[in-house]
Amino acid sequence: MSWPGGAAYAVSVTVDVDGTFGLPRGGDGSEARLTSRSERSYGVLRGVPRILAILAGARVTGTFYVPGAVAAEHPETVGAIAAGGHEVGHHGHRHRRPDELSDAEQRHELAAGLEALTSVVGKRPTGYRAPEWEMAPYTLDALAGLGFSHDSSLMSDDDVCRVPSGSGSVIELPVHWSLDDAPHFDRGGDPATLSAMWHAELDMARAEGRHVTFTMHPEILGRPHRACILERLVERALGDGAWIAAHREVAAHVGAS
């Protein structure tokens, strides 16, 4: 794969803005958990602006996967993401895991999320990421028919690839838990350790000339002492010749190649 501008490799920064819907079962039954809910709100109200400032400072754009219900609840935050030139992707409606839903419920999550995100952003999302990265056959098969060009939920490859979706296909931008902040910072974790892992992955992506996706959450990486590792990741990638682009740009490039 060759990358725009003769770049040596390609990098995407992705941010999952789950809000209170990221609590178990889409937050249902968590009404009394005020502390847990406040941590989630911190992510939307404090973490997202901090991450946006880092990306703006480096003049790069990322992809923010947002549940429709979060967009409806926080239209200013999601509007600011879109106004910054970033991609807003579909991350379910109430952040329910597709594998725990019936086909009819999965259809509802997709449709309700599309409606809410399109209403807030003013543009229909073309990228999808399954909540908790638990894609189910019905949802994957429905994506192409609903106009999605790309997905970022599967772990079957390192590089961008194409996967079947119903009678069509979508571009897959693979992910892995090891490149996600959530498992690393589960009640602790040293930012320097995750930073070293991210930089080691940059080394390998560059050596292999491929694309790599990094994933973070604003209530986790948006904390001040952690956010600086995103700044260093982006600086390092730009310094050694990466093309840093949102998933929609990478999918369009790969789809046209």
In the complex, the smallest distance separating the C-beta of residue 217 from Zn ion, rounded to whole angstroms, is 7
In the complex, the smallest distance separating the C-beta of residue 156 from Zn ion, rounded to whole angstroms, is 20
Instruction: Tell which residue, 70, 130, 66, 136, has the closest CA to residue 101.
Output: 136
The reply to whether 181 sits near Zn ion by the rule CB under 5 A is no
In the complex, the smallest distance separating the C-beta of residue 134 from Zn ion, rounded to whole angstroms, is 10
Report the residue number, 126 or 152, with the smaller CB distance to Zn ion.
152
Enumerate residues 6+ apart whose C-beta is below 8 A from 108: 93
The residue range among 9-17, 53-61, 78-86, 205-213 that interacts with Zn ion, by the rule CB under 5 A, is 9-17
Instruction: Tell which residue, 65, 83, 24, has the closest CA to residue 213.
Output: 65
Structure tokens at 225: 């002492």
**Residues 216-255 close enough to bind Zn ion by CB under 5 A:** none
Report the residue number, 98 or 242, with the smaller CB distance to Zn ion.
98
The residue range among 11-19, 56-64, 167-175, 219-227 that interacts with Zn ion, by the rule CB under 5 A, is 11-19
Report the residue number, 113 or 131, with the smaller CB distance to Zn ion.
131
The residue range among 68-76, 126-134, 144-152, 193-201 that interacts with Zn ion, by the rule CB under 5 A, is 126-134
In the complex, the smallest distance separating the C-beta of residue 179 from Zn ion, rounded to whole angstroms, is 15
Map residue 15 onto helix, strand or coil.
strand
The residue range among 10-18, 48-56, 112-120, 208-216 that interacts with Zn ion, by the rule CB under 5 A, is 10-18
The reply to whether 18 sits near Zn ion by the rule CB under 5 A is yes
Report the residue number, 131 or 222, with the smaller CB distance to Zn ion.
131
Report the residue number, 27 or 131, with the smaller CB distance to Zn ion.
131
- Count of residues in contact with Zn ion, rule CB under 5 A: 3
The residue range among 99-107, 125-133, 170-178, 246-254 that interacts with Zn ion, by the rule CB under 5 A, is 125-133
Between the alpha carbon of residue 115 and those of residues 72, 90, 123, 178, 243, the distances in Å are 10, 10, 10, 32, 32
What's the N-to-C CA distance of the chain in angstroms? Answer: 8
What span, in angstroms and rounded, lies between the C-alpha atoms of 243 and 257? 16
What span, in angstroms and rounded, lies between the C-alpha atoms of 56 and 241? 19
What are phi and psi for residue 71, nearest 5 degrees? -60, -40
Among 10, 11, 13, 16, binds Zn ion (CB under 5 A): 16
Report the residue number, 16 or 172, with the smaller CB distance to Zn ion.
16
Report the residue number, 12 or 205, with the smaller CB distance to Zn ion.
12
In the complex, the smallest distance separating the C-beta of residue 34 from Zn ion, rounded to whole angstroms, is 21
Instruction: Give the E-state strand segments of the chain in sequence order.
Output: 9-16, 63-66, 87-90, 127-128, 150-151, 161-165, 168-172, 211-216, 242-244
Structure tokens at 210: 């491929």
Between the alpha carbon of residue 109 and those of residues 71, 78, 90, 135, 139, the distances in Å are 14, 19, 10, 13, 9
Residues binding Zn ion (CB under 5 A): 16, 18, 131
